[in-house]
Amino acid sequence: MLKVLSSVVAVVAIGTGLVITYLLHKVPEKPHFDLEKWWGIGSKPREEDVAIRNFHINFNDTIIQDLKQRIKNRRPLTKPLEGIQSEYGTNTVYLETILEYWTDKYDFKGRATLLNRFPHYKTRIQGLDIHFIKMQPQTKDLKVLPLLMLHGWPSSSKEFDKVITMLTTPKEGYDFVFEVVAADLPGFGFSEGTNKPGLNPVQIGIIMRNLMRRLGYEKFYIQAGDWGSQCATHMATIFPNEVLGFHTNMPLSSRTISTVKLLVGSLFPTLAVDPKYADRIYPLKKFFSYIMRESGYFHIQATKPDTIGVALTDSPSGLASYVIEKMAISSNRDQLNTPHGGIENLNLDDVLDTITIIWVNNCIVTSSRIYAEGTTKDPEVWTVHNIPSLVPTAAINFKHEVLYQPDWILRDKFQNLVRSTALDIGGHFAGLQTPQMLADDVFESGVAFLKFHGVYSNES
């Protein structure tokens, strides 16, 4: 009787395991999306404005003077506790030096001129004015690959201003070069935000796809990080015949099976991930401790972005403190024992460009709302997360990126992972911190994409 019972239990256990495995690997059907959904104010007009307009960045005197006056009239900042550097957040003694630089030495007009060295445009997509840079290479002898570049929070297309020239300049040993479209996500930078709920990364991806079609690109490549990478991942999933290749510096699989693998891998970390990079994710206790320590802002912006937005909209000192602290930790998480907390891994003018753009456009609230929309319970969004992408994908993992997943997990989502690189340097804002490394990897990935499609001709 015991043998029979044991056999039944074994059969049930095996059957249960097979069912669970099937459910974890099951691919849902792709949802139907309204590709022309209106996000502008009011209802969609009969005739939509499809004009592409020139745009010029301007930090005008009125805004500059108001900003400086607000900073100078700030209340005294509370100093750090004894023996504390950046462990409690922004070191206000160090912040004072940045605020003084912002008001006295930061060249507002010169930085705007520097940003304007690229051609800037705006066009209305699904009711929203979308800002983008479009830079064409000066060459007639090479293949030109159209590349859409998408940033994350709290950035804008500014994040790519060092990389754009590198990508649009012919590189020795390559028979192609890139034509770059670097767009501001809706509600970020100089792009208009929506007054309607529901503008999540899937919907933003649709807007970005429609932008590329507006510009005449029926097929194109994408490079992206942070939330831009989520939008691009959804684009590759929904429009696999239009996205020719996807390069990401924040690769992430959000499929259910990937979460299970992450947990199972903690039992055998040396087998689950290259031992050289195991400490980036295991032990999970250390990883979750880091996430708990650094994700408070994420939880706030995913639940009540408008509340914190009031303070950040009204105070440039507060905005600088908030943004700098997050950019710092994402650039080097091991420097909390310093006054700068990691921000000195980035050029200060680049950081202040980012903050000034947020201030000038009053977009800290509209950009932060992506956290609330991106963590929505909308079943269609999570369905798209669970659908594997067949688009050839290249991943680069910089040392201090927020999250790290080994290739065996990434392939759950990106089944044609044609290139994967891990570096012992760099962080989340790769375009600002390590632009040459990022550009070099995009070129190498371009080779991998072309070989995948069987059209690469230069084997030198």
Give domain status of residue 344, yes or no.
Answer: yes
Residue 196 has pLDDT above 80, yes or no: yes
Determine the distance from the C-alpha atom of residue 105 to the mean position of all C-alpha atoms in its chain, rounded to a whole number. Answer: 30
Q: pLDDT at position 460, please? A: 46
Give the residue-averaged pLDDT of 88-106.
Answer: 98
What's the total number of domains in the chain? 1
Give CA–CA dist 1/17, Å, rounded: 24
Give domain status of residue 396, yes or no.
Answer: yes
Give the residue-averaged pLDDT of 335-349.
Answer: 97
Catalytic, 226? Answer yes
Residues 107/348, Cβ–Cβ less than 8 Å: no
Give the Cβ contact number of residue 293 at 10 Å. 12
The pLDDT tens digits for 244-301 are: 999 999 999 999 999 999 999 998 887 788 888 988 999 999 999 999 999 999 999 9
What would the two tokens of residue 223 be? 């490079």
The contacts of residue 192 (CB under 8 Å, 6+ apart) are 40, 128, 129, 130, 186
Q: pLDDT at position 273, please? A: 86
The pLDDT tens digits for 49-67 are: 999 999 999 999 999 999 9
Averaged confidence pLDDT in the chain = 93
The residue annotated as part of the active site, out of 174, 322, 371, 404, is: 371
Give CA–CA dist 367/154, Å, rounded: 7
Task: Tell me the CATH number at 161.
Answer: 3.40.50.1820
Top pLDDT among 46 and 324 is at: 324
Q: pLDDT at position 241, please? A: 97
- Of the candidates 233, 134, 130, which has an alpha carbon nearest to the alpha carbon of residue 187? 130
SS3 295: coil
Give domain status of residue 336, yes or no.
Answer: yes
Give CA–CA dist 150/208, Å, rounded: 9
Beta strands at 52-55 and 143-150: parallel, antiparallel or unpaired = unpaired
The residue annotated as part of the active site, out of 226, 353, 412, 441, is: 226
Give CA–CA dist 282/164, Å, rounded: 35
Give the residue-averaged pLDDT of 336-341.
Answer: 97
Domain that holds residue 305: 64-452
Give domain status of residue 23, yes or no.
Answer: no
Sorting pLDDT into bands at 50, 70 and 90, what band is 24?
A: low
Give the Cβ contact number of residue 50 at 10 Å. 9
Catalytic, 428? Answer yes
Phi and psi, residue 433, nearest 5°: -85, -45
The stretches of 28-155 forming alpha helices (DSSP H) are: 61-72, 92-104, 108-115
Give domain status of residue 56, yes or no.
Answer: no
Top pLDDT among 16 and 263 is at: 263
What would the two tokens of residue 153 be? 């929070």
Give the residue-averaged pLDDT of 365-375.
Answer: 96
- Of the candidates 437, 419, 440, 417, which has an alpha carbon nearest to the alpha carbon of residue 429? 437
Give CA–CA dist 443/403, Å, rounded: 24
The pLDDT tens digits for 134-156 are: 999 988 889 999 999 999 999 99
What would the two tokens of residue 136 be? 């064409």
Sorting pLDDT into bands at 50, 70 and 90, what band is 1?
A: low
Give domain status of residue 55, yes or no.
Answer: no
Give domain status of residue 31, yes or no.
Answer: no
Cis bond leading into 154, ω under 30°?
Answer: yes
Q: pLDDT at position 456, please? A: 77
Sorting pLDDT into bands at 50, 70 and 90, what band is 3?
A: low
The residue annotated as part of the active site, out of 129, 353, 428, 441, is: 428
Q: pLDDT at position 228, please? A: 98
Give domain status of residue 94, yes or no.
Answer: yes
Sorting pLDDT into bands at 50, 70 and 90, what band is 11?
A: very low
Taking the complete model, does pTM exceed 0.85, yes or no? Answer: yes
The pLDDT tens digits for 221-251 are: 999 999 999 999 999 999 999 999 999 999 9
